Amino acid sequence: FNSMIPPSPAMPMTRATLLVSLLSMGAMPPPCVVDGSPLSRGIAFAMASSSDAGNGQGASHQANIPQLPESDPDSDIPTLKLGEKMKFDHLGPVIINADGTTRSIENWNELTEKEKEVTWRRISKRNAQRREALHKKMQEEGVGEDSNEPAGEESARGDL
């Protein structure tokens, strides 16, 4: 591999070849490439090889590469399996505005349990009314569930 050959359309310069070229010239990789991926392991190997060839200190240089901490197997991070549902009730209800945008309650964690129950019930009813109104408005404008274009407007694709 000759690092002095400039990239060409036949042999474009990819990130990997750029990093290997820089490493062969003694440059340090950016910290983002030291993540344990196959590319990073290849870069670390190239760094060690180029250091070994130069001064015999490749192993000590490789030991200076920061490593990611081991994952904690006892953590209570929820996992989601295919087909399962995850509830976010602790975040509070999603409020549907009259224009169809959504928002949440900023101080949900500060409300008492009784306030949360009342708020949830009122927002659920209001959201149902607003969803129905938005659905009717969409039907009146001619936007169906199967179409993303309002009725009466020509398609941007034209006749094919």
Given a contact cutoff of 8 angstroms between Cβ atoms, the answer to whether 138 and 130 are in contact is no
Q: Which of 113, 110, 133, 131 is nearest to 121 (CA)?
A: 113
Q: Which tokens hold the place of 37?
A: 């991926």
Global pTM reads 0.41
* Neighbouring C-beta atoms of residue 84, cutoff 10 Å: 8
Strands 94-96 and 102-104: antiparallel
Is-contact 139 153, C-beta < 8 A?
A: no
The string of pLDDT tens digits covering residues 111-155 is 999 999 999 999 999 999 999 999 999 999 887 555 554 444 444
